[in-house]
Amino acid sequence: MIEEHLDFNLLRKCADCGACYNVCPSCLYIEGYDPRAVIKDILKGDFEKWLHSEHIWQCLECHQCLELCYQHYGFENAMTAMRLLATKKGIHPAQVKRGWDMFVKTGRLGEPAMGQRKRLGLPEPKKSGKEEFLKLLAIYKERKAQEKNRGEAEL
Amino acid sequence: MKEFAVFWGCTIPARFPFIEKSVRTVLNGMGLPWRDCEGFTCCPEKSLINNIDHGLWVLTGARNIAIVDEQGLDLVSPCTGCISNLATIKGELHVDHRKKEEVNSMLKEVGRKFTGRAGLNHLVPFFHDKVGAFRIKSAIKKDFRGMRFAVHYGCHMMRPYHALKNDDPLEPKKFDTLISWLGGESVNYMTKLTCCGQGLDRVDQHPTALQMARVKLKELKSIGVDAMVLCCPSCFLQFDNNQFLMEKEGESYGIPVLYFTDLLGLAMGYSPEELGLNQHRISVDGFLEKWERLWAARDTEKKIAEEFKEEGAFI
Ligand code: SF4
Ligand code: SF4
């Protein structure tokens, strides 16, 4: 399952390199944040403990590592994979779930501040694509369900 | 110049409508061919949506791009997150035809099609590349000579490079160049390219978010700048709101935070109120006063020189 998300050949080089420590803001300023330790555990097949760790949510997705990396890979890939696996198991900060819920209900992460807009003399915001988005979401979910059924039938 | 749509995103209209006002004022004041479009949704936000469902992240972004594709417009966003997400999605679909087909087969059911023809850019490199030095300098009435600015790029303005291709990803220059066109000095500082860290506030790690905000604020306080200039609502939240929260707890840095168009708008002659500067949490009064003082001193200098001249002095 983890192999689906990560290229182990690249990860192995990463485990030996560590150049990112010098540019990664979270490595530099947040105690205990150490993507290479995570990567080594992934390579050992022993990463479960990280799914519960607050550290995997401290990657800022700033892409400094990606740009610096001679493999154009980056520490962040390991952290993103960990977060994906964690959310699949329902382990994530409460705020992430709140944001997700709002997104699938409204297509947005916040509604325009109407009172403040009026006071500032801003025009009415344009209509959002909420209805069309919800339709598209239903289509997407249906496709995913079909795929899953097909997959199970093939097994 | 090709007509473009402005993609406001969620955060600016919801939390910082005064930034929207500032951007609108400047775009209109410069007479740029822009439009508001109907039908956009969240870009969508990477750290929230992509961590849960990559397929939906791509599909939603493709739909937003399809809206401008259909109208033959380019897209410009004042939010670094929005533009980075949209460009990443566009790039992903460009290299993966199967995925593109799959996405389009779903979009077709709501009457849309992603082609990816639309150019996507962030407002800052857009001003640098498309508006350009001549138009910007011609629009300026009062420049910022003598003022020191700390530019904060915002990671997603130019990263990932393979998707955005709009500035050097590790050593960007365009924002600094814009400041120099406005007459200001963009100071060099050690943590200049460090991420703001606001993402931590989205994953229930507020104290760590503040810790990241301090990294930059401490350095800027010690080297002394007149203001920080940035180009992203998340960075603004981190440095204006969160700086204010710390100030309330007695930890004061006193660094005014300006959005790029605030600076350009002031130089063009708009009042601080017209740009919504009175809505910032960290007061910009000290910054404005210094600017006024510098110009008043220049006026006095000029007057004295004229008087001398009238009296026949050789100057
Ligand atoms: S993307 Fe994440 S791992 Fe990479 S440099 Fe930024 S914070 Fe560090
Ligand atoms: S991501 Fe690339 S540069 Fe960073 S440690 Fe791994 S291999 Fe080295």
> What are B69-87's pLDDT values in tens digits?
999 999 999 999 999 999 9
Interface test with B, best of A72, A111, A132 (most B CBs within 10 A): A132
3-state helix, strand, coil in chain B (%, to 5): 55, 10, 35
User: How much is the pTM?
Assistant: 0.95
Q: Which of B70, B4, B7, B67 is nearest to B32 (CA)?
A: B4
- pLDDT tens string A87-133: 999 999 999 999 999 999 999 999 999 999 999 999 999 999 999 99
Contact check, Cβ <8 Å, A67/B170 = yes
Given a cut of 80, whether residue B12 has pLDDT beyond it is: yes
- pLDDT tens string B278-300: 999 999 999 999 999 999 999 89
- pLDDT tens string A56-68: 999 999 999 999 9
Burial class (CB in 10 A: 0-12, 13-18, 19+), A11: buried
ipTM of the complex in this document: 0.95
The pLDDT value recorded for residue A24 is 97
User: Mean pLDDT, to the nearest integer, of B78-100?
Assistant: 97
The Cα-based distances of B109 to A8, A137, A138, B91, B147 in angstroms read 38, 11, 11, 23, 54
- pLDDT tens string A17-48: 999 999 999 999 999 999 999 999 999 999 99
The pLDDT value recorded for residue B32 is 98
The pLDDT value recorded for residue B62 is 98
For each of the domains in chain B, give its residue range(s) and CATH number, in order of start. Answer: 4-122 (1.20.1050.140), 143-298 (3.40.50.11810)
User: Which residues are within 8 A (CB) of B138 and not within 5 positions of it... i.e. 6 or more apart?
Assistant: none
**Separation of CA A12 and ligand 2 centre (Å):** 10
Contact check, Cβ <8 Å, B63/A112 = no
B31: left (phi over 0), alpha (psi -120 to 50) or beta: left
Task: Report the alpha-carbon distance of residue B216 to residue B201 in Å, rounded.
Answer: 17
User: Mean pLDDT, to the nearest integer, of B263-276?
Assistant: 98
Mean pLDDT of chain B: 96
Please state, for a pLDDT cut of 90, what percent of chain B lies above it. Answer: 93
The pLDDT value recorded for residue B310 is 85
Task: Report the alpha-carbon distance of residue B66 to residue B104 in Å, rounded.
Answer: 10
Task: Report the alpha-carbon distance of residue B265 to residue B262 in Å, rounded.
Answer: 5
The Cα-based distances of B71 to B62, B110, B116 in angstroms read 15, 16, 12
pLDDT band for B113, please (50, 70, 90 cuts).
very high
Task: Report the alpha-carbon distance of residue A70 to residue A13 in Å, rounded.
Answer: 10
User: Mean pLDDT, to the nearest integer, of B217-246?
Assistant: 98
The pLDDT value recorded for residue B315 is 58
Residue B56 touches chain A, beta carbons under 8 Å:
yes
Task: Report the alpha-carbon distance of residue A43 to residue A40 in Å, rounded.
Answer: 5
Chain B nearest-CA distance from A155, in A, is 23
Q: Is B122 helix (H, G, I), strand (E, B) or coil?
A: strand
Ligand minimally distant from the alpha carbon of residue A35: 1
CB A137 within 8 A of CB B55: no
Task: Report the alpha-carbon distance of residue B257 to residue A139 in Å, rounded.
Answer: 43
The pLDDT value recorded for residue B42 is 97
**What does the domain layout of chain A look like in residue ranges?**
2-88, 102-154
- pLDDT tens string B142-201: 999 999 999 999 999 999 999 999 999 999 999 999 999 999 999 999 999 999 999 999
User: Which residues are within 8 A (CB) of B297 and not within 5 positions of it... i.e. 6 or more apart?
Assistant: none
Ligand 2, from A28, A68, A77: best to mutate by most atoms within 8 Å of Cβ? A68
Given a cut of 70, whether residue A155 has pLDDT beyond it is: no
CB B154 within 8 A of CB B196: yes
Structure tokens at B21: 């006002």
Pairing of strands B257-259, B185-186: unpaired
The pLDDT value recorded for residue B47 is 84
The pLDDT value recorded for residue B59 is 98
Structure tokens at A5: 């998300």
Pocket of ligand 2 (CB under 6 A): A 13-14, 17-20, 65, 68-69, 71, 73-75
